[in-house]
A and B are shown apart, each in its own frame.
Chain A
Amino acid sequence: MLKDYLKGKGVSFVEKMVDLDDTAKEEMSSLSGGFLGVPFTLISLDDGRKESIIGFDQGKIDSLLNLSA
C-alpha cells in the first residue's frame, strides 16, 4: 500500500526488511520508541531534518514531501 503509493507519486525510497536486518530493526526501534510495526517510514528532508511515520499516514507523507493529493 505504502510502496505502491510512493511509486505512484514517483518518490524514490530504500526498502529495509526489519525482520531480516537487525541493524535496520535497531534503527527503527530507536526512532519509533520501540514499536516495530510496519510499515514504518523515515523521511530525510532537504534541510537535513528526519521525520518518521508509523503506519501509512498519507496526509503526513504528502505534507512532508509536498505531494499533491
Chain B
Amino acid sequence: MSTRKVLLIFLALVVIISGVLLIRKSKNNKVILNLPEATPSIERLIKEKFQGLTIPDDSEKIELENVSGGEGIGIATRSQVIADLPSLQKGEKYQVFLGNGSKTILLGNLRELKGGYILEYDSSKYLGYNQIIIMRGSQHILEGSF
C-alpha cells in the first residue's frame, strides 16, 4: 500500500471519528431551562377564592403576611380585610386589630364569606392606623402594614 493511500485512510478515519464525537457532544449539550414557575399573587388567589368580589385596582392594598407558621393568606384595603384562613373551632373568632405604632385597637371580628373571612370597615375613623393584625385567641396569624 502506498504512503498516499495510508494517509488518505488515516485522514478518513480522523474525519469519521471527529464527526462521531461532534454528534455525541451536541446530543449531550441539551439546554435545560429551569425557569421558575410564576408564583400567583396573594391578590389573585384571594380573587379566585372570593369569586365575584371586587377589589378595585386603584385601591390602596397590602398583602398580609402569615406569621403563624400555618396556612392562610390575606389582603387588606382601606375598607376591607379579606382572608382565606383555616376554619375555626366553635366559639373561636378571628379578631382584627389596627395599630398606629403606639396603640393597637380592636377593629372587629372577621365574618365568614364564601368559605373565607371578611371584615368591612371605615378607615376614616382610624386615621394613622396603618398596621393590620389578625389574631386567633392570643396567636398572631396575619400581619401587614400600609
Contact = CB atoms under 8 A, between A and B. Distances in A.
Given A55-B95, A55-B97, A59-B91, A37 B137 contact: no
B138 A32 contact: yes
Interface in A11-64: 19, 32-33, 35-39, 54-57, 59-60
B102 interface: yes
B107 to A, nearest CB: 10
B138 A54 contact: yes
Contact of B138 (A35, A36, A38, A39): A35
- B interface, size bucket: 10 to 19
A28 to B, nearest CB: 11
A19 B91 CA distance: 30
| Chain A at the B interface: SS class | loop
Contacts of B105: 37-38
Given A33-B138, A54-B95, A55-B135, A38 B102 contact: no
B93 interface: yes
A20 B20 CA distance: 85
Interface of B: 91, 93, 95, 97, 99, 102-106, 133, 135, 137-138, 140
